[in-house]
Amino acid sequence: MSHPHPELGPPPPLAEDALRVVALGGLGEIGRNMTVFEYRGRLLIVDCGVLFPEEEQPGVDLILPDFEYIRDRLDDVEALVLTHGHEDHIGAVPFLLRERPDIPLVGSRLTLSLITAKLGEHRIKPETVQVAEGERRPFGPFDLEFFSVNHSIPDALAVGVRTPAGSLLHTGDFKMDQLPLDGRLTDLAGFARFGAEGVDLLLSDSTNAEVPGFVTSESDIAPVIDKVFDQADQRIIVACFASHIHRVQQVLDAAKAHGRKVAFVGRSMVRNMNIARDLGYLHVPGDLLVDVKQLDDLRPDEAVLISTGSQGEPMSALTRMANRDHQIRIEEGDTVLLASSLIPGNENSVNRVINGLTRWGAKVVHKGNALVHVSGHAPAGELMYVLNMVKPRNLLPVHGEWRHMRAHADIARRTGMADSNIVIAEDGVAVDLHKGRVRVVGKVQAGYVYVDGTSVGDVTETALKDRRILGEEGFISVVVAVDSTSGKILGEPEIHTRGSGIDVEAYDEVLPKIQDALDRAAGDGITDPHQLRQLVRRCIGRWVSDTYRRRPMIVPVIVEV
């Protein structure tokens, strides 16, 4: 089994009869999925998604893949294949198309409709190529075949890639629900047929590799939702992903059966559901939907709201309801249904929202106390099934954290695959397929690119460290006026502080120390403002650390007079 090492250098030139695979995101993380395939100087990209920030990345809106590896070769890109319409697979497309707007976007009908609407907000009109399961299309030297896969959004696809260097199968996100709500099964027969031709490399979804068995069917959720509706005697507020059309359909069906009206809340929810309804993926009886403004005209037991915010996102509708910062106010007796899984890292945010909702008297139904969500990802039993059916020569686990990818590798080992044919890589690691074997050959730049407002890539790790310090320790600003010639201090230093937790009067203790240090510096002939700032920073920093065991950000300001 190959493992990435920090000492890996840039990959060598690609052999003429080899295929190179470089993931720019999605390995060792849940999100930012983007994989680049190279053959004879031409590139194919599969997915281009975002990662959502965690608490240690304050102020960041989105995290993108780093395009540096392909930035000078964008003209070599034959196509960008989008496996499905989730943000972690399509969210970074607008940022890539800013650099080359005419990259062909290849995907299913729903996926292309969702990304086209998103690109419209960025004033980008894309070049799209609509495909469906069973189709086979060439893009340069890449011969692509598309397979239907079942997931938590309709119209998801796996993609088979044939090249003279070998064939590979990229599953995208998938599961093997045998009773899907739309009747669209994962194309196991297609997988088996493709495998019979000989698959040199399988790139397969690892998210649920630690979960034993087979996935629970989406159809098992309907009775639970119906029970929630049956027991609720006031408003029902359902929070789910804005892309989970099947879950929304189940809620609409339950609302219709219980004589309730439904309103969508949240811009992305309204946009996506309108697209799904227009394309026929969402079936809505004519009189079921109402505008949010009409909710006041309904009795509480007649209303259902479907909202975003199931992950505790700070600006989402549900979080704002929990904080009493939304036009819709949670009332005693309301029922809130969190009909989604919990993305790793969001536990604290979601728990805060649940506590906030409960505080105002709502009953909160979630995955922890009811079967209100099933995963969209294949557990271990299904991953083993695919490995045995496709019989790939080599495996590259994708779409998962380290523990998920290692668990996936263990499953492959149990099916008889040798360690030398399993590659656990990380973002940026170049893996070459040559004569039926895979090996790690180097590493390219693949760090985080932060989006903060309109800024893309300007926020650095150093800036984030400063933000964390400001958020956790506060700051102390020291303003000192000095004689520009002698460096001698003029008057008493001024100290301003925010969030440090130190009483203003306590600084009287350190002011004489700052003055003494500056007087000694002046006596030694030190007049350089940079040296004086460092002197002030060390002086007050040592005092704060020794006295309070704290490390706030210290901003010394030297005013030369």
Question: Mind giving me the DSSP string for 171-211?
Answer: --S-B--SS-TT-----HHHHHHHHHHH-SEEEEE-TBTTS
Q: What whole-number distance in Å separates Cα of residue 279 and Cα of residue 528?
A: 68
Which pLDDT band holds residue 363 (cuts at 50, 70, 90)? very high
Map residue 317 onto helix, strand or coil. Answer: helix
Winning range, highest mean pLDDT, from 224-228, 375-379, 394-398, 518-522 = 394-398
Superfamily for domain range 18-214+375-452: Ribonuclease Z/Hydroxyacylglutathione hydrolase-like (3.60.15.10)
Q: Write the DSSP string, 423-443.
A: B---TTEEEEEETTEEEEEEE
Q: Please return the burial class of 363, using the count of CB atoms within 10 Å of its CB with bins 0-12, 13-18 and 19+.
A: middle
User: Distances in Å between the alpha carbon of 245 and those of 154, 251, 260, 280?
Assistant: 7, 10, 19, 11
List, as residue ranges, the binding site for substrate: 373-377
Q: What is the pLDDT of residue 408?
A: 98
The mean pLDDT of 252-277, rounded to a whole number, is 92
Q: Tell me how long the chain is.
A: 561
Task: Confirm if 326 and 319 have CB atoms less than 8 A apart.
Answer: no
- CATH code of 461-560, in short, is 3.10.20.580
In this predicted structure, the answer to whether residue 294 has a pLDDT above a threshold of 90 is no
Domain with CATH 3.60.15.10 in the chain: 18-214+375-452
Task: Single out the residue of 404, 381, 387, 415 nearest to residue 177, CA to CA.
Answer: 381
Q: Write the DSSP string, 127-149.
A: -EEE--TT-EEEETTEEEEEEE-
Percent of the chain with pLDDT over 90: 56
Q: How far is CA 464 from the centre of its chain?
A: 18
The mean pLDDT of 235-260, rounded to a whole number, is 92
In this predicted structure, the answer to whether residue 109 has a pLDDT above a threshold of 70 is yes
Task: Confirm if 20 and 37 have CB atoms less than 8 A apart.
Answer: yes
DSSP-H helix ranges across 499-560: 511-523, 529-548
Which pLDDT band holds residue 58 (cuts at 50, 70, 90)? low
Q: What whole-number distance in Å separates Cα of residue 479 and Cα of residue 115?
A: 51
Task: Confirm if 427 and 27 have CB atoms less than 8 A apart.
Answer: yes
The mean pLDDT of 37-62, rounded to a whole number, is 86
Domain with CATH 3.10.20.580 in the chain: 461-560
Which tens digits make up the pLDDT trace of 527-538?
A: 778 888 888 888
Task: Confirm if 114 and 141 have CB atoms less than 8 A apart.
Answer: no
Q: What whole-number distance in Å separates Cα of residue 440 and Cα of residue 360?
A: 55
Which tens digits make up the pLDDT trace of 191-202?
A: 999 999 999 999
Neighbouring C-alpha atoms within 13 Å toward the C-beta of 72: 1
Q: What whole-number distance in Å separates Cα of residue 552 and Cα of residue 224?
A: 50
Domain with CATH 3.40.50.10710 in the chain: 218-365
Winning range, highest mean pLDDT, from 258-272, 417-431, 441-455 = 417-431
Q: What whole-number distance in Å separates Cα of residue 349 and Cα of residue 18?
A: 46
Average pLDDT value for the chain: 89
- The token pair at 117 is 């609407």
DSSP-H helix ranges across 258-309: 267-279
**Helix, strand counts (H, E) of the chain:** 15, 25
Task: Single out the residue of 237, 216, 485 nearest to residue 361, CA to CA.
Answer: 237
List, as residue ranges, the binding site: 373-377
Task: Confirm if 259 and 167 have CB atoms less than 8 A apart.
Answer: no
Q: What is the pLDDT of residue 4?
A: 53
Classify domain 218-365 at the CATH topology level: Rossmann fold (3.40.50)
Which residues touch 459 (CB under 8 Å, ≥6 apart)?
59, 60, 450, 452
Instruction: Give the single-character DSSP code of 24.
Output: E
Q: What is the pLDDT of residue 345?
A: 62
